[in-house]
Amino acid sequence: MSTIHAPGPLARLRTDFPILDRRVNGKRLVYLDSAATAQKPQAVLDALDDYYTQHNANVHRGVYTLAEEATAAYEEARAKTARFVGAPMPREVIFTRSTTEATNLVAHAWGRSTLAAGDVVVLTHMEHHANIVPWHMLAAERGVELRWIPLTADGHLDLTDLPRLLEGAKLLAVTAVSNVLGTINDIAPLAEAAHAAGALVLVDAAQAAPHLTIDVNALGADFLAFSGHKMLGPTGIGALWARRELLEAMPPFLGGGEMISDVRLDGFTCAELPWKFEAGTPPIAEAVGLGAAIDYLNSVGMDAVRAHELSLTTYAVASLGERFGDRFRVHGPADPVERSGVLSFEFATSQGDSVHPHDIAQVLDSEGVCVRAGHHCAKPLMRVLGVTATARASFYVYNDEDDIDALGDALGAVEKMFG
C-alpha cells in the first residue's frame, strides 16, 4: 500500500498520546473513533495534573494566591478558546459542559425569549441530535415550525429550495461538518442567505473545531457551539460563542451562584458577560485542559492537521477500495477534499451479504481496532440513508497509514467470520 502514499508528516505525533501505547485484546490499539471523542496528548494530561496538584481553588471567589491562580488559568483558557475560533473578545465565549449544553443554552435562553408560535427554525437532514432535539422541544412548547434542508445523493446539502425554506425564518441551525457523512458544509454563503432572509445562524462546530481552522466572522456565524473532548481536551467542557449583543439581550440560562451581580429577597441582577451564563462552579480543570489542547493544536497548526487528515482519508478510500472494491462502500461525498476524516461505511462479504455495523465493530475490536457502530446520534439522517446504523472510522492527528492498513486487515477478519 505504501506505493499509494508516503507516511504522513504528523506520524511522529503518535508518541505524544500515551494511551496509544496500550494493547487491546493482545493487539496494538488502533483508535479510529475520534469523531466520538479524541485521545489526549501528554501535554493535556500534564495540565490537568498541574492544575490539581498546584493551583486547585474555586474561581472568582477567594482572594488568596491559589484562587487567583485558578481564576487566571480559567480565564486564560477562555482567551485561548476565543482566539482559536477567531472570536473578537473572550467575554463572548461561554464555557459549557458540551456542544449539547451550548445548543440547549441557545434554544432555552435565546429561543424562549425570542420565538413565538409560527416562527421558523431551519435545520438540515444531517444534524446531530444535539442540534435537533432542543428545537423539537421548543417546537412542542412554543409551536415553532421546523423546516429541513434536504441532502443530495452525494451527501451535500441540497440548496435548491433554500430561499423558500428561509422565508420568514428566525434561525438557521446547521452543522459545519457532518459527524456521519464527513461533509464539510460551506457555511459562509449559507449564513449570508440566512441573514438576508432575516435569520440568525447557529453553527454546530463539534466536528469542525477539532479539524479545521474556525473563524466565526468568516463563517458569518451568530452562535457557534463546540466540545473540548473531541479536540484533544477533557470531557465535560465545551463552549458557546455568540455575538456580544445577542448574549447581552438574552436572559440567563441556569440560575445560581457565579451568574449574579446581586441577589435580593425580591429578585436578582445578572452578572456581566460571560459569567451571566456560567451558573455554579464551572469545570475549571477541564477548561484549563482545553486551553492546553488548544496550545497543542496551535503548535501542530490547524492547516497541518487538515492536510494530515485529508491525506489519511485519501489513502483510506484508495487502499480499502483497492482491497475490497464495491464491498467497501463509503457514505457521503466521493471526493476526500469535500469531507473531513470521517468515513461511515457499509461492508459486505464476498457473497455480497452486508455485515451489520455492530458485528463489524465487534470483530474489529477483537483485532484492537476501535470504530463506532450505530446511528451516531443522527437518526433522521439514518432514515434518509435508508439504514438503521453504520460503521464509522474517523481519523485525527495521531493516526497514520498503519492504522488504516490495520483496519483493512481487521475487515478481512470480518469477512472470514461472516463470509
Q: In the complex, which residues of this chain contact another protein (CB under 8 A)?
A: 25, 356-359, 362-363, 366, 373-375, 379, 382, 388-389, 417-418
Residues 6+ apart with CB under 8 A from 115: 121, 138, 142, 144, 170, 171
| Nearest CB to another protein, comparing residues 317 and 385 | 385
For residues 28 and 368, is the Cβ–Cβ distance under 8 A? yes
CA neighbours within 13 Å on the CB side: how many for 4? 18
Instruction: Give the C-alpha separation, 29 to 187, whole Å.
Output: 36
| CB of residue 133 to another protein, shortest distance in Å | 13
| Nearest CB to another protein, comparing residues 56 and 366 | 366
| Nearest CB to another protein, comparing residues 23 and 164 | 23
| CB of residue 35 to another protein, shortest distance in Å | 16
| Nearest CB to another protein, comparing residues 171 and 385 | 385
Q: How many CB atoms lie within 10 A of CB 246?
A: 16
Angstrom distances, CA of residue 399 to CA of 27, 231, 293, 310: 16, 14, 17, 12
Q: Which run of H or E residues covers position 82?
A: helix 65-84
Cα 204 to chain center, whole Å?
7
Residue with grid cell 491562580, as numbered in its chain: 69
| Nearest CB to another protein, comparing residues 113 and 362 | 362
The residue from 377, 385, 391, 406 that is catalytic is 377
Output DSSP code: residue 76.
H
Q: Is 270 a catalytic residue?
A: no
Instruction: Give the C-alpha separation, 385 to 201, whole Å.
Output: 26
Q: Give the SS3 label for residue 311.
A: helix
| CB of residue 389 to another protein, shortest distance in Å | 4
| CB of residue 387 to another protein, shortest distance in Å | 8
Cα-flanking dihedrals φ and ψ of residue 151, to 5°? -115, 155
| Nearest CB to another protein, comparing residues 321 and 412 | 412
| CB of residue 378 to another protein, shortest distance in Å | 10
Residues 6+ apart with CB under 8 A from 97: 236, 237, 238, 283
Identify which of 130, 103, 96 has the alpha carbon closest to the alpha carbon of residue 286.
Answer: 96
| CB of residue 386 to another protein, shortest distance in Å | 10
Point out which residues pair with 354 in neighbouring strands.
Answer: 348
For residues 238 and 225, is the Cβ–Cβ distance under 8 A? yes
| Nearest CB to another protein, comparing residues 43 and 413 | 413
| CB of residue 347 to another protein, shortest distance in Å | 13
Residues in the chain: 419
| CB of residue 284 to another protein, shortest distance in Å | 31
Instruction: Give the C-alpha separation, 288 to 49, whole Å.
Output: 10
Instruction: Give the C-alpha separation, 327 to 307, whole Å.
Output: 28
Following CA atoms 374, 379, 385, 391 in sequence, which dihedral angle do they give, to the nearest 10 degrees? -10
| Nearest CB to another protein, comparing residues 70 and 410 | 410
Instruction: Give the C-alpha separation, 333 to 343, whole Å.
Output: 10
For residues 238 and 226, is the Cβ–Cβ distance under 8 A? yes
Q: Measure the N-to-C terminal CA separation of the chain; round to a whole number of Å.
A: 24
User: Which sequence positions are flagged as catalytic?
Assistant: 377
